[in-house]
Structure 1
Amino acid sequence: MGLEFPLTGFVVGLLVGFTGMGGALLMTPILVFLFGISPTLAIGTDLVYASITKLFGALQHWRQRTIDFYAVKWLSMGSLPGALLGSGAVLLMRQQIDTHQLNSVVGKILGVTYLLIVAVMVWRIYRGRSRREQISAVSQPSRQKLIVLGLLGGCIVGMTSVGSGTLFMAFLTLIYPIASAKLVGTDIVQAVLVTGAAGLAHLSAGNVDMGLVAQLLVGSIPGILIGSRLTVRIPDAAVRTLLMVMLLWSGMKLLI
């Protein structure tokens, strides 16, 4: 076994651990562009890898008591069926068109999703500047709002593998201004559920390389455990900026 996949898993796991986002945003483009894996296989492999990796991060955040279970509960009411719907859409397309066309369609969907998430991340930065003082006066969002947001995010994750961290982090930031460490922990727990559901659907359809998953996990599990411990120590502004730049580049490359 070479070191390229474990090292890739470690770096991505570290970033996910202390930002709650960036797993698929980094891993899927790396698998597609650096290692030449087809978009369809990269998505399924990433979902299974991400669900297992983030489970370890969720356990660490549970120990640290940095999880809001109210948000997790109601988001998952929408995100789990949404993930299955999104995965089902990809499987349906696979039956209707050939592999080359499917990879092209999925690649375009990925590109659009990446650019939309960049826009959301920029909005989060702008929005955050006007909401910093509100952390001490948190009001819980309605169940209905969380369910609808979960359904939307779950569909996108099921189709593209991306957004389990970034989209839900963006949603939570916009409607629920809790402390950063708790925001990350809540986001990671939610991501375990939605990527797990979507990953199982892709696994059943043969869109997962389990050997590759195992190699990535060798590095990602220690990476996310270390990163989770750093959530209260390291500012993540620089990391988020790097993610935005890479995301913008990946989105443009997939669409051109």
Structure 2
Amino acid sequence: MNDISFIAAGALVGFIVGLTGVGGGSLMTPLLTMMGVPLHTAIGTDLLYAAVSKTGGAIVHHRHRNIDWRITLTLAAGSVPAAALTVYALANWFPDANSYKHILTTALGFMLLVSALSILLRPAIQRRLAQRKTSSWGVRAWVERHTQLLTIIMGVLLGVLVTLSSVGAGVFGVMVLVSLFPALKMIKVIGTDVTHAVLLTLVAGLGHMSMGHVDWPMLGWLLIGSLPMIVIGTTLSSRLREDIIRPILGTTLLLLSVRFIFA
């Protein structure tokens, strides 16, 4: 593939990310693999792409005090060590990238499926949680008593699966926060999720880099294409109805998940 193709791919993903707020990993990694990039290189490069592209958003949220640092660090206490251990396992338990390709493929398909369901079902889940917020619902009460432990456990799960697939740090992360912290304002959910995603994808991406899974020129071209289009997509997002965008994007990810699960 030539440089223009990667710039175009970055522009397409950046525009959709700006338009919908969905993390680029859900779209970038499948797109790169369909362009002929080896899966392990697509994942490693996309993780660092996510870390760089989300950093600006994290800085803005920090300036506006939209980050709950306690929750961010609690999630990271589970996800960052899990990401490092996952990279260690890949590097030391398998002879080469081809020997664990099936693990990456399955993880990618699974996380695309989870992301699709998160997008499609999020409004219904939020409504249900809002209805139960002030009730003595048994499950909700149990979750509230064990919130810190559950946050760390979900961080571990995110750390492993995001490292294996590059998908889910944004979309799945939001659903984790909405489910565990229903009283948290949505702007703080987003700010906390973006900041945690920067930490997680940076650690996971550097781990993949240590195994030679990052294509630096390709990463540069992707960023050149995507960063301006994220701004344009964000500007246009207020003019489009979310209830139209969400089903289209969710269905697209659902179809992509089938492709990788049954690859």
TM-score range, shorter chain: 0.7 to 0.9
Give the equivalent residue in structure 1 for 2:152: 147
CA contact (8 A) 2:49 2:223 kept: yes
Post-superposition offset of 1:148: 1.6
Post-superposition offset of 1:134: 7.6
Give the equivalent residue in structure 2 for 1:102: 100
CA contact (8 A) 1:8 1:216 kept: yes
Give the equivalent residue in structure 1 for 2:89: 89
Residue 81 of structure 2 aligns to a residue in which SS? helix
1:126 aligns with 2:124: yes
The structure that has the greater radius of gyration is 2
RMSD: 3.0
CA contact (8 A) 1:114 1:251 kept: yes
The structure-2 alpha-carbon separation of the partners of 1:93 and 1:30, relative to structure 1 and needing over 3 Å to count, comes to farther
Post-superposition offset of 1:173: 1.3
Could you tell me which amino acid in structure 2 is paired with residue 241 of structure 1? Answer: P
CA contact (8 A) 1:20 1:184 kept: no
Give the equivalent residue in structure 1 for 2:8: 7
Greater Cα offset, 152-161 or 17-26: 17-26
Give the equivalent residue in structure 2 for 1:24: 25
Distance 1:214 1:239 in 2: 29
Q: Deviations over 1:110-145 (max 9, x none)?
A: 2123223334444433211223468899x8983322
Post-superposition offset of 1:233: 7.7
CA contact (8 A) 1:86 1:158 kept: yes
Could you tell me which amino acid in structure 1 is paired with residue 78 of structure 2? Answer: G
Structure 2 unaligned regions, length at least 5: 136-143
Distance 1:241 1:182 in 2: 24
CA contact (8 A) 2:147 2:180 kept: no
Give the equivalent residue in structure 1 for 2:140: none
Give the equivalent residue in structure 2 for 1:58: 58
Q: Deviations over 1:64-98 (max 9, x none)?
A: 33322222121111111111122233324542xx5
Taking structure 1 as the reference length, the TM-score comes to 0.84
2:164 paired residue among 159, 168, 173: 159
Give the equivalent residue in structure 2 for 1:180: 186
Distance 1:189 1:117 in 2: 18
1:195 aligns with 2:201: yes
Distance 1:231 1:131 in 2: 26
The structure-2 alpha-carbon separation of the partners of 1:94 and 1:45, relative to structure 1 and needing over 3 Å to count, comes to farther
Give the equivalent residue in structure 2 for 1:205: 211
Post-superposition offset of 1:168: 0.9
The structure-2 alpha-carbon separation of the partners of 1:188 and 1:224, relative to structure 1 and needing over 3 Å to count, comes to farther
Could you tell me which amino acid in structure 1 is paired with residue 42 of structure 2? Answer: A
Distance 2:241 2:105 in 1: 32
Give the equivalent residue in structure 2 for 1:218: 224
Greater Cα offset, 56-65 or 2-11: 2-11
Residue 247 of structure 2 aligns to a residue in which SS? helix
Structure 1 unaligned regions, length at least 5: none
The structure-2 alpha-carbon separation of the partners of 1:71 and 1:225, relative to structure 1 and needing over 3 Å to count, comes to farther
Could you tell me which amino acid in structure 1 is paired with residue 23 of structure 2? Answer: G
The structure-2 alpha-carbon separation of the partners of 1:60 and 1:234, relative to structure 1 and needing over 3 Å to count, comes to farther
Give the equivalent residue in structure 1 for 2:75: 75
CA contact (8 A) 1:83 1:155 kept: yes
CA contact (8 A) 2:117 2:250 kept: no
Distance 2:163 2:226 in 1: 21
Taking structure 2 as the reference length, the TM-score comes to 0.82
Aligned length: 252
Q: Deviations over 1:153-205 (max 9, x none)?
A: 11111111111112211101112133333222221111000000000000011
